[in-house]
Chain A
Amino acid sequence: MRRWLLVALLGVTLLLFAGIEDSIVQVGRTLEKNGVNEVRYAVWGTGDPNSVLRVLGIVEAARRINEIWAKNGINVKVTIRETRYELDFTQMYQEFLSKQPLGTAGDFLVNSYVYIAPLAEEGYLLDLTSYLEKHKELLNNFFASHIEVAKYKGRIYGLPQDTEARPFYIRKDIAAKVGLDLQGLDEKVLKGEFTWFDVYEWAKKAVQTGASEWGLIHRRGSAHPDLMQFILAFGSKLYDPADGKLVFDKEAIYKWLTIEWTFAREKLLPSDMMAWDWAKQVHPAIVDGKTLFDIGGTWYWTEWQTKDYYTDPKTGQMRGLKPEEVEQWFYYTLFPAGEPGKKPVTLSQPFMWMVSSKAGAQNPKYSALKSVYDELAFLIVAKASDPDINAIHSIISAHLPVGKPSAELLASKEWLDKLYNLQIDLDPGVKEKIAGIVKATVNPINAAFLSKVSYMLEYTNFPPVHPMYAKLSAIFAEVVDYVLRGQMDPAKAIDYAIGKINADLDLKAGVKIINDIPKDWRFGGK
């Protein structure tokens, strides 16, 4: 049965990409006629340590295009001259922004969809709309919501590469110590019966009884995107499409900051949380069982398996967790509602294959052949979106697939076995680079995890695509830091944030301040 499923999937894929293949052949012939035998591109990608297919997917796509050309007797070759992969996605965006005008940035950028707005606004991205109109079949390959967020002013500037949910992780062993019953807890969270009021009570119990050092660990550095979930969990929003303005909801933000303030004052959350080091403090604290709760992302699941964050108590050595350990130790639910009567949430930030509007600029006869190089760049990201490449990326990095064909592949044990043994059609160099991650992460436990968390996408939200969003979230990060450290109470932090918004004329014009600080609201019975 599974074999037939695979054959059927392959058939559908071939059918979907028949049009793409025709275009690849045509582009190859045009290049050959113009005397171009080699086309060179560079790809810049970013993200967690396991998401290397964000750049290697382009290498693999180039190989597939070269095979098509060879099969059709076309003497042209695509070479990926540079594969650059960085962990810090903000820094990578900043570098792309500064180097693109000079023509020295990567031809492809793999980064968060939130950067589509500023990059497209400046004309730094290739508009893919006309190519996608020509290859409508490709669009059917993706979930419609992900294509929607790839749009800016009605035009499509990226193809979805992956997405994720942000589960609320709970250490099962610590929960057992303090008597927190996890049976059916995800259902309670879903119904809004387990809220941040409960999170606070259990966190307090865990710390006071000595079951764990901390009650909660969350992200460091910035408020975007994880901490923004608090605003949504208190029933508010980040953006109002009616007037195109960002929303600053004093009530929801006050409640969020009160949680940060209370947790830090009662030493349930480190007061210097925003300055913690990811590899040396944040992840080790979680995997070593020093916290009951953690706000994280789906990709944590495999990152804990491939990075040496865990100190083995028997050997004293740091190592990655085994899939069985991750499954045994971590429970996950949606991000709970802020208070009774509100709903749980999660937040996704799909990553996109984006193409520079100067893609291929370093190739021969660029001025004359620009449209050909542009189309070839589009075809490369189209091939990089092949369902199997997307599915491999999903399983090894614990990101959620962006289309049904790749999601179905993940459900196939036969395909997973082949992937585990690397008996798949992949570039040898790519295979070699991902071999270690594949061995550590390709297994039924991780596939089941991806399948189980997929329901969260029904409750997901997307950060706003607004040129001023980066400025506003930077202010949030600043006030969270002040509140955690006890340098401002939540009310003063709200005043400070509003002062900063009003002090910036551009930001002031782009942000709408609504509601008031609630007078009678109490958190956790205080």
Chain B
Amino acid sequence: MKGKFSRKWELWAFLAPALIVVVVFYVVPLILTVYTSFTPLRNWNIQRYATRLVGLYNYQKLFHAIANDPSVRAVFLTTAVFVLCTLIVNVLGGLILALLTFFVDKKTNSIASTIWLLPRMSPIAVYGLVWYYFFHGSGVGTLNSIFLKLGLIDRPIAWGQEFIPYGPWSVIIFVNGLVGVSFGMIVLSSAIKSIPGEFVIAARVDGATDWQICRKVLIPQIKWHIMYVTTWQLLSLLTSYAHTYLLVSWRLVNKSYGTPWALYVYDLAFTGVFDQGLAAAAGTLLVLVGGLLGLMTLRILGFGKLMVEPRGDI
């Protein structure tokens, strides 16, 4: 009896640090966000507004805006396109890079990996500035000046402001895709490296091509890692806005079609009239959608199978 009791405490002691972190940094802010969405909090005046309650008024305002404001509808559409397309770039791009670097020698591998890691290592403002000047809509822009010199265009093009909505979508997906692809590359590269070399050698002896090795040996072995990268990136993209914020605020891309929902939440809270109550309602909606999408992804990718205990006969 005593042994069982102390075993239970040992388990709690082991889990406690992680649980405390989860509760303090995830659960409490979530509860505060939901609570704030029922208050008229604005202009950071917590002392004045935090204890007043307005019921569902913020949700009413939010759904009224979604139903009537063309910009908010554009934000909705942008979020779907941005998350889906960038996710494909991040996961597929990361997988392709991981596979390519597996087949090259170590030195080339580390050089290539470092180059792809640069966007993640660069400070956000510096990285944003690079693409600001690259896509700038005047002749000052790198892309425009190259195309003008090659005679492909006869006037500078505002890439993120013209060809609405595809122009702004292309720019934000490109910029965020480059940042995210390195994450997939690192996780999947290390997963591939952990596959016993004998598998690949045996496949080579049997005459398998590189493509067959990828398809039949490597990818099946790292499917759980691919699932992890997909789910992680999906949830990250839903809540990421830092790079996009800079591109929109510098007017490189169109405000409506360059604003994903997370940036819209930020705008509500930190610009204009600083409506933190409304922002909290929009944030709560994002959490709900994120949670649902996360669960759906895990189900589609077979998370249940990963959690099944090993049969013990291997």
Q: In the bound complex, do residue B72 and residue A94 qualify as a contact, i.e. CB atoms below 8 Å apart?
A: no
- 39-97 of chain B: CB within 8 A of chain A: 43-48, 60-61, 64-65, 67-72
Q: How far is the CB of B266 from chain A (nearest CB, A)?
A: 12
Bound CA span A123–B70, Å: 35
* Contact A505-B60, Cβ < 8 Å, known A94-B270, A122-B48, A272-B138: yes
Is B102 located at the chain interface by the 8 A CB criterion?
Answer: no
Question: For A502, what are the chain B residues with a Cβ–Cβ distance below 8 Å?
Answer: 68
Q: In the bound complex, do residue A505 and residue B61 qualify as a contact, i.e. CB atoms below 8 Å apart?
A: yes
Q: In the bound complex, do residue B272 and residue A485 qualify as a contact, i.e. CB atoms below 8 Å apart?
A: no
- 274-315 of chain A: CB within 8 A of chain B: 274-275, 280-281
* Contact A98-B164, Cβ < 8 Å, known A471-B273, A503-B69: no
Q: How far is the CB of A91 from chain B (nearest CB, A)?
A: 10
Q: In the bound complex, do residue A503 and residue B48 qualify as a contact, i.e. CB atoms below 8 Å apart?
A: no
* Contact A98-B44, Cβ < 8 Å, known A118-B273, A503-B72: yes
Q: How far is the CB of A494 from chain B (nearest CB, A)?
A: 14
Question: For B48, what are the chain A residues with a Cβ–Cβ distance below 8 Å?
Answer: 122-123
- 158-174 of chain B: CB within 8 A of chain A: 158, 161-162, 164
Bound CA span A94–B137, Å: 28
Q: In the bound complex, do residue B273 and residue A499 qualify as a contact, i.e. CB atoms below 8 Å apart?
A: no
Q: In the bound complex, do residue A503 and residue B272 qualify as a contact, i.e. CB atoms below 8 Å apart?
A: no
Q: What sequence of 0s and 1s flags, for each residue 486-498 of chain A, a beta carbon within 8 Å of any chain B beta carbon?
A: 0100000000100
Bound CA span A158–B277, Å: 29
Is A221 located at the chain interface by the 8 A CB criterion?
Answer: yes
Q: In the bound complex, do residue A500 and residue B45 qualify as a contact, i.e. CB atoms below 8 Å apart?
A: no
Bound CA span A5–B251, Å: 52
Bound CA span A275–B138, Å: 10
Total A-B pairs in contact (CB under 8 Å)? Answer: 73
Bound CA span A478–B48, Å: 32
Question: For A468, what are the chain B residues with a Cβ–Cβ distance below 8 Å?
Answer: 273
Question: For B271, what are the chain A residues with a Cβ–Cβ distance below 8 Å?
Answer: 94
CB nearest to B68 among chain A residues: A503
Q: In the bound complex, do residue A467 and residue B273 qualify as a contact, i.e. CB atoms below 8 Å apart?
A: yes
Question: For A118, what are the chain B residues with a Cβ–Cβ distance below 8 Å?
Answer: 43, 273
Q: In the bound complex, do residue A506 and residue B69 qualify as a contact, i.e. CB atoms below 8 Å apart?
A: no
Q: How far is the CB of B99 from chain A (nearest CB, A)?
A: 40
CB nearest to B275 among chain A residues: A506
Bound CA span A505–B161, Å: 28
Is A504 located at the chain interface by the 8 A CB criterion?
Answer: yes
Question: For B68, what are the chain A residues with a Cβ–Cβ distance below 8 Å?
Answer: 499, 502-503
Bound CA span A491–B68, Å: 18
Bound CA span A504–B274, Å: 14
CB nearest to A220 among chain B residues: B251
Q: In the bound complex, do residue A478 and residue B255 qualify as a contact, i.e. CB atoms below 8 Å apart?
A: yes
Q: How far is the CB of A482 from chain B (nearest CB, A)?
A: 9
* Contact A470-B158, Cβ < 8 Å, known A500-B71, A503-B64: no
CB nearest to B69 among chain A residues: A503
> Which of A98, A280, A471, A503 is the one whose CB lies under 8 Å from B140?
A280
Is A318 located at the chain interface by the 8 A CB criterion?
Answer: no
Question: Chain B interface (Cβ within 8 Å of chain A)?
Answer: 43-48, 60-61, 64-65, 67-72, 137-138, 140, 158, 161-162, 164, 251-252, 255, 270-275
User: What would 20 more interface pairs be, CB under 8 Å, given A98-B44, A275-B158, A503-B65?
Assistant: A94-B270, A97-B44, A97-B274, A98-B274, A101-B45, A118-B43, A118-B273, A221-B251, A272-B138, A272-B158, A272-B161, A275-B161, A471-B272, A474-B272, A478-B255, A496-B70, A502-B68, A503-B64, A503-B67, A503-B69
The 7 closest A-B pairs by CB, nearest first: A503-B69, A503-B68, A275-B251, A122-B45, A101-B44, A122-B43, A503-B65
13 A–B pairs (Cβ distance < 8 Å), ordered by A = A94-B270, A97-B274, A98-B44, A101-B45, A118-B43, A221-B251, A275-B251, A470-B272, A471-B272, A478-B71, A478-B255, A500-B69, A503-B65
Question: Chain A interface (Cβ within 8 Å of chain B)?
Answer: 94, 97-98, 100-101, 118, 121-124, 221, 272, 274-275, 280-281, 467-468, 470-471, 474, 478, 481, 485, 487, 496, 499-500, 502-506
